[in-house]
Amino acid sequence: MRLKDKTILITAAGQGMGRAAAIACAAEGAQVYATDVNREALETLEAVEGIQTRYFDVTDAAATLALAEELPDLDCLFNCAGIVHHGTILDVSDADWDLSVSVNITSMLRISRAFIPGMLRRAEITGTASILNMSSMASSIKGFPFRTAYGATKAAVLGLTKAVAADFVSTGLRCNALCPGTVDTPSLQGRIASAPDPVQAEKDFIARQPMGRLATVDDMTPTIIHLLSDDSRFVTGQAILVDGGVTI
């Protein structure tokens, strides 16, 4: 039970990696607050022991403060929410850009700012606390076609992660980023289905993975648990790639 007695908030926990993380963290003994804007998806998590759900839109500044007020002090925070804008720089409207910045990076700033004081109180008692921010291999690590707004905002996640890690390194509060390869999740399936040729689109996603397959969410959860738990107590400020060798 690597997360016993730990209270964890996870954003975008309705589906995909956030959902898998919520279930895996609860199985490791954590008290998990699973949040999302998809109420139906949240309902399906309510029966899982160790999980409580909350409707939470990460772009809502007032809701962020209200949630920090309501919840107990956190040991761990997994900022998982993010959206993919598909397009080159010529396709990104100001509205597309603003939405990507809002969901992918401003939310992390606000949520971290709201919850860090409580996490520092926990770290004073337990000696440790951990923030995990969802980035991507598509960031400052590697450029991909049609990922201007996405890659820029996921690169910003790495800058935020390192800055937070540096500011709190002496307190026991750590901050790392997860950089997955292409993971088979509902939103990826949506991107494949909305491509002009979905069969070719799936082949193209698989072709960029040198292991010859997409990642599953279960390929990610061991690293997520590692980074949230005290197993990674000497790791901070790092961009951890779990990409099946794309960036070798």
Catalytic residues: 150
- Measured from the CB atom, the residue of 81 and 123 that comes closer to ligand NAD is 81
Pattern 121-140, binding to ligand NAD, x per CB under 6 A? -------------x-x----
Q: Residues 11, 148, 221, 223: which binds ligand NAD (CB under 6 A)?
A: 11
Interface with ligand NAD by CB under 6 A: which range of 12-20, 108-116, 194-202, 224-232? 12-20
Extract the tokens encoding 202.
């799936």
Q: Say which residues have a Cβ less than 8 Å from residue 186's Cβ, sequence separation at least 6.
A: 15, 16
User: Is the CB of residue 31 less than 8 Å from the CB of residue 22?
Assistant: no
User: Is the CB of residue 8 less than 8 Å from the CB of residue 171?
Assistant: no
Q: Residues 100, 185, 229, 236: which binds ligand NAD (CB under 6 A)?
A: 185
Q: Is position 180 an interface residue for ligand NAD (rule: CB under 6 A)?
A: yes
Residues in contact with ligand NAD, counted by CB under 6 A, come to a total of 29
- How far, in Å, CA of 246 to CA of 74, rounded? 34
Q: Residues 9, 14, 100, 236: which binds ligand NAD (CB under 6 A)?
A: 14
| Nearest alpha-carbon partner for 179 in 130, 132, 213 | 132
Three-state SS at 180: strand
CB of 121 to ligand NAD, least distance (A): 25
User: Is the CB of residue 58 less than 8 Å from the CB of residue 81?
Assistant: yes
| Nearest alpha-carbon partner for 105 in 53, 164, 47 | 164
- Measured from the CB atom, the residue of 85 and 174 that comes closer to ligand NAD is 85
CB of 7 to ligand NAD, least distance (A): 19
Helical (H) or strand (E) element with 205? helix 198-207
- Measured from the CB atom, the residue of 37 and 235 that comes closer to ligand NAD is 37
- How far, in Å, CA of 196 to CA of 190, rounded? 12
CB of 11 to ligand NAD, least distance (A): 6
Look at the block and give the residue holding tokens 């998806």: 41
Compute the residue count for the chain: 248
Pattern 189-228, binding to ligand NAD, x per CB under 6 A? ----------------------------------------
Three-state SS at 132: strand
- How far, in Å, CA of 114 to CA of 188, rounded? 30
CB of 129 to ligand NAD, least distance (A): 21
Within 30-69, which residues bind ligand NAD (CB under 6 A)?
A: 36-38, 41, 57-59
Binding site for ligand NAD (CB under 6 A): 11-12, 14-18, 36-38, 41, 57-59, 80-84, 103, 134, 136, 180, 182-183, 185-188
